[in-house]
Structure 1
Amino acid sequence: MTTDGPRNAPDVVDVVALGESMVTFLPSRPGRLADVPSFERGIGGAESNVACQLAAAGHAVRWVSRVGADGFGDHLVETVGSFGVDVSSVGRDSSRPTGVYFRTAGDRSTDAHEVAYYRAGSAASAMSADTVDLAAVRAGRVLHLSGITAALSPGCLDLLRELTAPAPGRPLVSFDVNHRAGLWPDADGPRVLLELARRADVVFVGEDEAEEVWGVTGGPSEIRAVLPEPGVLVVKQAAQGATAFVSAAGTEAAGSRAAGAASVGAAAPRRRGRAITPPARPQPADTFVPALAVDVVATTGAGDAFAAGFLSATLRGLPVKTRLRHGHLWAAAALTVPGDLATPPTRAHADHLAALDDDTWETLRLGPGWTQAGKAPEEVRTP
C-alpha cells in the first residue's frame, strides 16, 4: 500500500530536486565498521543536499521523492523540511522501507573507507511516473536530477527518461552525472548516463568521472566533444578547478524553457521564487576558474554543494565565471565541515569573494568556520 503526496496544482518554485535521500549513520570515532561502537544519525542524498542548500540560501525549492512509512522516513522529511524545502510532494510507502547507510570516518576516496548501504527495495526505488506527482516535479524553473536515480530501478530510469524528454514548456533540466559503479550491476551505466546527459540543459561531471565512465582521457575539451548537446556543461577538475562550456543556442533554449516552466502541470498556479534572468552579455564558449585552497575536513557532499552554488548563481542571472566561483565557494563550505550538509555562505559574503580580482582569488585559503555570520572576508585570506 502506498500513500502519495497531494496532487493539487502546485506552486511554481525556483528549483525542484528529485531523488532518493537516506538516513546516514556517522561513526562516533575512526575505525572499521566492525569496531565502531556507536553512530550519530544524519541524512544523505545528492538531490536533497542540493535542495537543502538552495533553500538555506533563500531560493524556493521543492524536494520530490518517496520514503517509507517509518520513523526514518519521518526523520528525512522533517530534516529536509527544516531547511525551508517544500516536502509536500514526498510520497510515503507502507510496504517498502526508507533506505539507510553506514560509513566510516575519513575520506571516501581512501581504500580504508567503508560504506554499507541498505537501500535495495527502498521506497525511493519504487519511484515512477505513476508514483510521483509529475505536476509538482515539473512546476520548477529548474529541475535537478542525477544519475543515481536512474540506477535505482527500471521504473526510476523510465521516470528520468520521461522528465528529460524534449517537450514544450519543459523546465531547465540540470543533471549531475554522479556515477556510482556499485549501483550499476551490468554494463548499461555508461550508455544510460550519456543518454540522459545529452538530453539535459545543464550538466555537471567530474573529469575523473568522465574517464571512469566513458573512457575520456583528453580533459574538458574532449568531454565537451562527447557531450556537445547541453547548453551548459560544467567539468569539475578536482583541486585544479572547473571549466564551463556554454553554447549560445543552448543558452537561448534554456532561457525559453525556464520562462515556460510556470505553465507546465498546473492551471494558473500562484508564482513563487524568481525567474532565471539570462545574462546581459553573450557568454564565452568556455571558462575556467581555479579552485580555492581549502583546509579540508571531509569531502562528502562537496560536489552537491558545487552544483547548488552554480545553480543559485544561474537563477540570479550571473555571468558564467561568477557562477563557477559561487560553485567553488559553496563547495568550500561543504569541505570545511564533517557532514554531508553545510550552510552556504551568505549571499553578500559570497558575492564579495566572487567579485575579487583573479590574483586575490588565487590567494584565498578557507578553513573551518569561514562561513560564520559576521566574519569579515579579509579574515579568510592568506597573507
Structure 2
Amino acid sequence: MQFARRSWQTVGGTSAGKALHLADLGIDVRLCSPFGADEVGGWARDALTTAGVTVEAIASERTERHVNLMTDGGGRVSLYVSVPSTPAKDEVDAAVAIVVAADLAVIDLSELGLLMLERDEVRRTPLWMDLHDYDGSSAFHEPFLGAAEVVFMNDDRTNDPWELMRSCLARGPRLAVCTRGAHGAIALEADGTRHEVAAVPADVVDTNGAGDAFMAGFLGATLHGLSIADSLKAASAQARVAIESEHLHPILGR
C-alpha cells in the first residue's frame, strides 16, 4: 500500500496539450477530439475554450479519462479509466474537412487519426506526427509515420536515437525530432544534417505534457519562420512552461 502526498484533477491528453501551447504562442488552432455528453466532457471543453482553444468536439459515448501515478523523478504510469467510442462516419468527415482546410495539421496516435489517414485528401495537407515512445518497428505507428512530413518521438525505447530517426526518415518524412528528457533534444534532416539542443533548467513540478509543449514550441517557431536550430531552442523553452506547472499549461490553473 502506498499513500499519495497530493492529487488533483486537470485536463489531460496529448492533443489538448499541443493545442493549449499553440494557442499560447498565438497560433490559430482548432482541436478535433472526442468528447462525451457527460459531466467531465463538458468541464474539459469549457476549460479548453476558456484557455483560448477552439474546440471541434467529436461525439463519443464517453470522455477519455486516465489516472497518472507520478514519482518525484518524473516516472509515470497511466491507468486508463475510460476510452472514446469509435467515431461515426459523419464525425470523421467533419474532422477531415477541417484538416483539408488547414495550413498544417498534427494528427495524434488514435483511432480517429487512423480513420482520417485512410482518406487520400487528408494527405494534401502537411502532416506532423508525434510518435511518442516509438521503438522503430511498431505496426500501429506505420500509417502515421508514412503520412508524415515531420515526426517527433522520445528516446524511451531506443539505445540509439540517431538511428531511430534515420529509420523514420527512410519512410518519407523530411525531418525527425527526438526528445531526451534532461539530456535535451536532437533533430535529423533528410539530408543528414544534425541538430542538438540542451534542456532548459526547470523547477520540475509535473512532467506530464512536456513533450507536447516541446512539439508545440517547435511548430510555433517554425510557422513564424525560425530555423530548425532556433525552433529547437524555442521548443525547449516551451517545454519548461509545462514542466513547471501542475497542468498541461499553467493557464488551466488560473
- Given the two structures, how large is their TM-score scaled by the length of structure 1? 0.58
Q: CA deviation at 1:239?
A: 1.7
Q: Which residue of 1 aligns with 2:99?
A: 137
Look up the match of 1:49: 17
Cα distance, 1:109 vs structure 2: 5.1
Could you say what secondary structure the match of 1:42 adopts?
coil
Matches within 5 A, 1:170-189: 170-179=124-133
* Structure 1 residue 61: Cα displacement: 0.6
Q: In 1, Cα distance between the equivalents of 2:238 and 2:47?
A: 20
Which residue identity is paired with 1:90? A
Aligned partner of 1:161 in structure 2 is 117
Give the secondary-structure state (helix, strand or coil) at the position aligned to 2:104. strand
The 1:157–1:294 alpha-carbon spacing in structure 2 relative to 1, beyond 3 Å, is closer
- Aligned counterpart, 2:244: 336
- 2:65 corresponds in structure 1 to 100
Report if the CA contact (8 A) 1:108-1:300 is conserved: no
Q: Distance in 2 between matches of 1:310 and 1:335?
A: 16
Q: Which runs of 5+ in 1 are unaligned?
A: 1-30, 151-155, 182-188, 212-216, 249-283, 344-383
Question: 127, 135, 143: which is aligned to 2:87?
Answer: 127
Residue 47 of structure 2 corresponds to which residue in structure 1?
A: 79
Q: SS state of the match for residue 156, structure 2?
A: helix
TM-superposed CA distance for 1:179, in Å, is 4.1
Provide the rounded CA distance (Å) in 1 between the counterparts of 2:101 and 2:50.
Answer: 21
| 1:63 positional shift | 0.5
* Larger-Rg structure: 1
**Percent of residue pairs bearing the same amino acid type:** 27
**Aligned CA distance change for structure 1 residues 314 and 129 (closer, same or farther; 3 Å):** farther
Partner-residue secondary structure (3-state), 2:204: coil
Shift of 1:226: 4.2
- 1:296 is matched with 204
> In 2, Cα distance between the equivalents of 1:316 and 1:157?
26
Q: Find the aligned partners of 2:114 and 2:70 in 1 and give their Cα distance.
A: 35
Per the TM alignment, residue 37 of structure 1 is displaced from its structure 2 partner at its CA by 10
Cα deviation for residue 234 of structure 1 reads: 0.6
Aligned residues: 247
Whole-angstrom CA distance in 1 between matches of 2:114 and 2:175: 24
Q: How does 1:188-267 map to 2 (within 5 A)?
A: 190-209=138-157, 211=158, 217-228=159-170, 229-247=172-190
> 1: CA distance between counterparts of 2:35 and 2:134?
21
Runs of 4+ in 1 over 6 A off after TM superposition: none
Residue aligning to 2:216 = 308
Amino acid at match of 2:203: D
Residue type of the alignment partner of 2:25: A
* TM-score for both structures, normalised by structure 2: 0.84
User: Please, which of 223, 227, 231 is the counterpart of residue 319 of structure 1?
Assistant: 227
- Given that residues 207 and 220 in structure 1 are in contact (C-alpha distance below 8 angstroms), is that contact kept between their aligned partners in structure 2? no
The structure-2 alpha-carbon separation of the partners of 1:290 and 1:314, relative to structure 1 and needing over 3 Å to count, comes to same
Matched-pair contact (CA < 8 Å) for 1:145–1:173: yes
- 1:232 & 1:301 partners in 2: Cα distance? 22
Say whether the 8 Å CA contact 2:74–2:206 is kept in structure 1.
no
Cα distance in 1, alignment partners of residues 103 and 140 from structure 2: 25
- Is 1:116 aligned to residue 79 of structure 2? yes
Residues 168-213 of structure 1 deviation map (CA, whole Å, 9 limit, x = unaligned): 87221010012499xxxxxxx811213421320110011223x2xx
Amino acid aligned to 1:59: I
Match of 2:27 in 1: 59
Unpaired segments of 5 or more residues in structure 2?
none
- Cα RMSD of the aligned pairs, angstroms, is 2.8
